[in-house]
C-alpha cells in the first residue's frame, strides 16, 4: 500500500508519514484552529491531500480493518493502527527481528540443495527484516552466502574470494555467478553418467551371462555326480548284500523260506494233552513216596482255538467226565482232592 500511495502522489505519502495538521491562526499570542471560512489556498491543498490518502486507505482494507480505522480523523492515525494490527507493537517487532536474526545467523545450504532454492530461503529471511527496519548491505549478504555454501562448493568460494572484483561484487551478481557455475557442472555430471550408463550395462550383462553359464554347468556336473554315486551304491548293494528276512530279522534267507516261521506254525497245530494229579501223604515229605494214579478227573488248558475245544470234548467222553467243567486256573502238584466224582469225601490218609 505504501508503494501504491507514493505512485499516485508522493506528497500523499508525506501526509501519511508526517501527518496533516489542522490550519491554525494566532490570536493575541495564542494559536487557535481556523474555521473553513478562514482557509487559504495552501490550507485547502493540505486538506485535499489528507482526504485523498484516507480514501485510498479505505479502498485498500477489508471490512474488519475498516471498523478499526473508521474513527480516525487523519491518514497518519489510520496508518499507525494498521501497523499495530499487522506488525505489532514495538516489542513485537523487536521479538520478530530477534527471531529472524537468529535464523539469519544459523542459515546454511542443505545437502543436495540447488542454488536457486537456497537463495529463495535466504530471501524469506532478509526481506521481512528489511520491512521491520533491519537492513543488511550487499557486502554483508555476499559474505554470509559464501559462508553458507556446502563443502563441495569450497573450490568455487576460494576462486571468488581470491578474485579481483571480490570487494565490489554485489548480492545479485553473486547469485547469478553461482547459478551459472551450478548449471555447467550439472551438465558435465549428466554427460559422465550417460557415458557410464552406456558402458556399464554391456559389461555387466556379459558378466552375468558368463556367471549364469558357469553356475548352470556346475549344477549339472554336481547333479550328474550325485546320481552316478546313487546308482553305483544300489548296484553294489544288490551284489554284495545277502537277503534279509522280514519275519525274524536274520540275514541269509527270505520270509517265505524262514525256518522259524515254519516251526511256529507247527507248534500252533493241536496236540493231545494229558492231565496228571498226585497225592502226597502227610507222614512222608519225600518225593519218592508220591504215588501217581489215574483218576477220572481231567484237568486241561483252555485255548481259544476251535480244534482244542473239540479235543477236550473227546477226552471228556473217553474218561466219562462229560458233566465236569473246565478250570481256568492251573493247579499245582501239591493240591489234594477232597471229594471224588460222586461227591463223597476222600480220605487222604488212604493215599
Cite the beta strand spans of the chain per DSSP E. Answer: 24-27, 30-33, 278-279, 291-292
How far is 66 from 63, CA to CA, in rounded Å? 5
Provide the grid cell at 280: 502226597
pLDDT for position 285: 42
Cite the beta strand spans of 63-130 per DSSP E. Answer: none
How far is 113 from 185, CA to CA, in rounded Å? 14
Each residue's pLDDT tens digit in the chain (351 positions)?
Answer: 888 888 888 888 888 888 877 778 877 878 788 888 888 888 888 888 888 888 988 888 888 888 888 888 888 889 888 888 888 888 888 899 999 999 999 999 998 899 999 999 999 999 999 988 899 999 999 999 999 999 888 988 999 988 888 888 999 999 999 999 988 887 666 556 666 555 444 544 444 545 555 555 667 777 777 887 777 776 555 556 677 787 787 777 777 778 877 676 666 655 555 544 444 444 444 444 444 444 455 555 544 455 667 777 777 777 666 555 555 555 555 555 566 666 666 665 655
pLDDT for position 147: 93
Half-sphere exposure of 31 (CA within 13 A, CB side): 4
pTM above the 0.85 mark?
Answer: no
Angle between helices 138-148 and 171-240 (to 10 degrees): 10
pLDDT for position 176: 92
What is the 8-class DSSP label of residue 305?
-
CA dist 152 to 117, 149, 155, 170, 252, Å? 17, 8, 7, 22, 87
pLDDT for position 118: 93
Provide the grid cell at 334: 501239591
Is the Cα dihedral 248, 254, 260, 265 positive or negative? positive
Concatenated DSSP letters for 201-235? HHHHHHHHHHHHHHHHHHHHHHHHHHHHHHHHHHH
Amino acid at each position: 500500500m505504501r508503494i501504491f500511495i507514493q505512485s499516485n502522489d508522493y506528497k500523499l505519502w508525506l501526509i501519511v508519514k508526517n501527518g496533516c495538521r489542522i490550519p491554525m491562526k494566532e490570536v493575541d499570542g495564542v494559536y487557535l484552529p481556523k474555521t473553513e471560512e478562514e482557509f487559504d489556498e495552501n490550507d485547502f491543498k493540505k486538506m485535499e491531500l489528507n482526504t485523498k490518502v484516507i480514501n485510498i486507505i479505505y479502498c485498500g482494507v477489508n471490512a474488519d480493518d475498516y471498523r478499526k480505522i473508521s474513527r480516525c480523523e487523519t491518514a497518519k492515525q489510520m496508518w499507525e493502527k494498521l501497523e499495530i494490527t499487522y506488525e505489532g507493537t514495538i516489542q513485537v517487532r523487536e521479538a520478530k527481528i530477534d527471531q529472524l536474526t537468529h535464523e539469519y545467523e544459523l542459515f546454511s545450504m542443505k545437502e543436495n540443495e540447488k542454488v536457486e532454492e537456497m537463495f529463495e530461503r535466504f530471501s524469506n529471511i532478509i526481506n521481512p527484516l528489511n520491512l521491520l527496519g533491519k537492513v543488511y548491505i550487499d557486502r554483508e549478504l555476499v559474505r554470509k552466502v559464501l559462508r553458507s555454501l556446502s563443502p563441495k562448493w569450497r573450490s568455487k568460494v576460494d576462486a571468488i574470494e581470491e578474485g579481483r572484483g571480490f570487494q565490489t561484487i554485489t548480492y545479485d551478481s553473486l547469485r547469478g555467478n553461482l547459478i551459472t557455475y551450478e548449471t555447467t557442472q550439472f551438465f558435465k555430471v549428466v554427460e559422465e553418467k550417460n557415458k557410464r550408463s552406456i558402458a556399464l550395462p554391456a559389461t555387466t550383462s556379459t558378466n552375468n551371462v558368463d556367471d549364469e553359464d558357469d553356475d548352470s554347468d556346475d549344477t549339472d556336473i554336481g547333479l550328474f555326480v550325485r546320481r552316478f554315486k546313487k546308482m553305483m551304491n544300489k548296484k553294489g548293494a544288490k551284489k554284495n548284500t545277502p537277503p534279509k528276512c522280514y519275519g525274524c530279522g536274520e540275514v541269509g534267507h527270505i520270509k517265505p523260506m524262514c525256518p522259524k516261521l515254519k516251526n511256529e506254525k507247527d507248534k500252533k497245530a493241536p496236540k493231545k494233552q494229558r492231565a496228571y494229579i498226585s497225592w502226597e501223604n502227610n507222614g512222608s515229605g519225600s518225593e519218592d513216596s508220591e504215588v501217581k494214579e489215574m483218576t477220572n478227573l481231567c484237568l486241561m488248558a483252555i485255548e481259544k482255538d476251535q480244534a482244542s475245544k473239540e479235543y477236550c470234548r473227546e477226552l471228556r467222553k473217553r474218561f466219562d467226565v462229560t458233566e465236569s467243567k473246565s478250570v481256568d486256573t492251573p493247579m499245582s502238584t501239591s493240591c489234594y482232592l477232597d471229594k471224588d466224582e460222586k461227591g463223597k469225601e476222600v480220605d487222604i490218609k488212604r493215599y
